[in-house]
Amino acid sequence: MAANKFGRYVWLVDLIKCHPYITFKEISDKWENSGLGDGKPLPWKTFMNHKEAVQTIFDIIISCDAKRGYGYYIEDADRLEGNAFRAWLIDSYATLNQLQADRRLEKRISFEKIPSGGKFLQTLLQAMRQSCVLEITHQGFGKSHASTFQVEPFHLKVYNRRWYLIGRSVYSDDIRTYALDRIQNVVITDIKFEIPNTFNIDKYFEGCVGIIADAEYDIEHVIIKAYAWARQYLSTLPIHESQRVLSSDDESITFEFNVRPNYDFVQMLLQQTDQIEIIEPQWLKDGICHIAENIISYYKK
């Protein structure tokens, strides 16, 4: 499939996603001004072909409500929003479409550079697709030298600008997480494997914030109080999917979580500096106090 055709399909999904009820004429007008159609209206046949392709490629159904003036909408739009990969793909490609259509925007949009992933992503995806064991050379943080070993690649995950491979170590039989920017070499072997039926990536990271699936931490009920700018920041960008508002007033918002209070979760709390307060559990509150005391000691030398 030509890249420009794929971009047109994404453009159509993104348009209807942003305008939940839109007529064909409105779609055609948007197309004419988008830069994708060379300034011409969208032909009806092209629209129908794109609509069919969207269903085939993305499993997204674009329907028409004849009772409301023949407006188009996405069926089960909540399911689309719940699929992180498809939502990310559509949003990313929609932005790329705009850059390609109008080069004047190119220097007005900045992206974060992800310091890992690109070199080995295709190889990892191929191994996952073919269910082949990988032989990787990996040097973890704090290690004086690299080690070469075999891994069954289960899953790829992006977190905090880094790609990670989640897989089972053939030698230790443990499921581990490997940062791709710490991998020095990858070779696909002829050894086949099967992902256990018991493995579920959502269950594996249940209660986790970030990339550390730390089983030594149980899922606990955590309550924090956010002040000043952290109130709006956490309201619009939750730390974890379990985040809920317990109460609020003019000065603060109290949030609750059901999480594993591991290193990544604590780091997310510390990012809010002095704008949050841990209410419970007490041991986490004490831990934050200890970190604060250490920080103060650095500046009192």
Residue pLDDT, tens place only, 169-224: 998 888 999 988 889 899 999 999 999 999 999 899 999 998 888 777 899 999 99
Tell me what the pLDDT averaged over the chain comes to: 85
Q: What is the DSSP string of 80-100?
A: HHH-HHHHHHHHHHHHHHHHH
Q: Architecture of 121-198 per CATH? A: Roll (2.30)
Would you kindly state where each structural domain of the chain is located, as residue ranges?
3-108, 121-198, 220-299
- What is the per-residue pLDDT across 44-87, written as a single tens digit (0 to 9) for each? 999 999 999 888 877 888 999 888 788 999 887 666 665 565 56
CA–CA distances in Å: residue 134 to residues 44, 210, 274, 275, 277: 48, 24, 45, 45, 45
CA within 13 Å, CB half, 187 = 8
CATH class of 220-299: alpha beta
At residue 222's C-alpha, the angle toward residues 220 and 225, to 5°, is 180
The pLDDT of residue 142 is above 80: no
The encoded tokens of residue 216 equal 């030594």
| Amino acid residing at 300 | K
Between CA 17 and CA 35 the distance in angstroms is: 19
Top pLDDT among 98 and 269 is at 269
